[in-house]
Amino acid sequence: MTTAAIIVAAGRGTRAGGDIPKQWQIIGGRPVAAHAMARFANHPAITQLILVLHPDDIDTPLWPREPAATIVAGGATRAASVQAGLAAAGPDIDTVLIHDAARPLISDAVIDRVLAALATSVGAAPALVVTDTLWHGAEATVTGVQDRTGLFRAQTPQGFHLGPLREAHAASTGQETDDVAVARAAGLDVSIVAGDEANIKITTPEDFVRAAELMRHTMTSLPDIRCGNGYDVHRFGPGDHVWLCGVQIPHTRSLQGHSDADVGMHAVTDAIYGALGKGDIGQHFPPSDPQWKGAASHIFLEHAVALAASQGFSIGNADCTLVCEYPKIGPHHDAMKAVMSAYMGIESDRISVKATTSEKLGFTGREEGIAAIATVTLIKP
């Protein structure tokens, strides 16, 4: 089964308020529609993402360019917009999931349930059993009670085998309010799977408040971003070279320390441990342990990177400042970035190594030692 997700974002959303259509208003740091786009794009079963836009929106910066999607102009009705999306499905696609852009809190679990049902059913859609009592009313007076037995609240994504749904749309009146209605009008059976109370459709201004609150609680769409800092100092002693950010630099003295005393690499390593809340180099590699005497500092850095990866974090960037009068760092800057990026497994343009003097003030100014300070960000999607 190869599946395309069609995000229908061609409506104007006038009931939600605001100066722009509701699907492009910002919630949880990005446009409403971007949340669902990311959810489907990241789902392993989805091989094509199709975004149906209002023709007026196509040349605007409103809609997210990431994740990559097949862009389609919608039609005058919802049915026409869905038909445009169906026409854009690639030749290898055999099932489609059609989703409202205004449902940003769609979960993998609901997507999985729809996909599972499509293995045995031509159509499947999530819904919730109606539990509130339903009234008929007129002029603010209750005129009767509706039996709620067998009533469901429909949600999306609504999933179908592509061929039968295309035929159903071709035969439709264009007046149906969703794809389940189109499918049923064509005689197709549609299975009901369990929906999700959080999978709300943003319709009114109050819905934005509720959706933002749900996002804070579920964290379904927000990455975990951590920041850590590191600071280190090593004193000068006898010798003819220093190690700084993994590069050996000839000098009139050497930095003293239990390991190779690479003060820059130590600061970056401690920043990673700091972002993880996992102590520092001394805790993981005690100076009292003779096996680390003279150790190459990349052992520490690689340990911190692996610890971050084991917890699902990748490194966003690292910024390290070396504080010394000499040696001059500039000639070695590119080599340091290359070495650090290799040990950290990230592109060198995510690493910064800078240097400053301290205007001959303090211990670094008197050339008694070198200090380093570093900041690192970690990201878990």
How far is 282 from 274, CA to CA, in rounded Å? 12
Fill in the per-residue mask, 228 to 257: x = in contact with Mg ion (CB under 5 A), - = not in contact.
----x-------------------------
Compute the half-sphere exposure of residue 11: CA atoms within 13 Å on the CB side of its CA: 21
Looking at the Cβ atoms of 182 and 233, the one nearer to Mg ion is: 233
Q: Which stretch binds Mg ion (CB under 5 A): 31-39, 71-79, 260-268, 315-323?
A: 260-268
* Residue nearer to Mg ion on the CB measure, 184 or 235: 235
Window contacting Mg ion (CB under 5 A); options: 66-74, 126-134, 199-207, 224-232: 224-232
Piece of 10-18, 21-29, 155-163, 261-269 that binds Mg ion (CB under 5 A):
261-269
Q: Is 266 in the site for Mg ion (CB under 5 A)?
A: yes
At its nearest, how many Å lie between Mg ion and the CB of residue 234? 6
Q: Which one of 39-47, 200-208, 219-227, 263-271 is the stretch in contact with Mg ion (CB under 5 A)?
A: 263-271
Tokens of 100: 């409202």
Nearer to Mg ion, 266 or 332 (CB): 266
The residue (of 191 and 254) whose beta carbon lies closer to Mg ion is 254
Per-position DSSP letters for 213-281, written without gaps between them: HHHHHH-SS--EEEEEEEEEEEEEES-SEEEETTEEEE-SSEE-SSS---HHHHHHHHHHHHHHT---H
Longest dimension (CA), the chain: 95
Q: How many CB atoms lie within 10 A of CB 109?
A: 11
Q: Is 57 in the site for Mg ion (CB under 5 A)?
A: no
Q: Is 22 near Mg ion (CB under 5 A)?
A: no
What CA–CA distances, in Å, run from 301 to 186, 235, 246, 280, 312? 62, 21, 10, 11, 17
Binding site for Mg ion (CB under 5 A): 232, 266
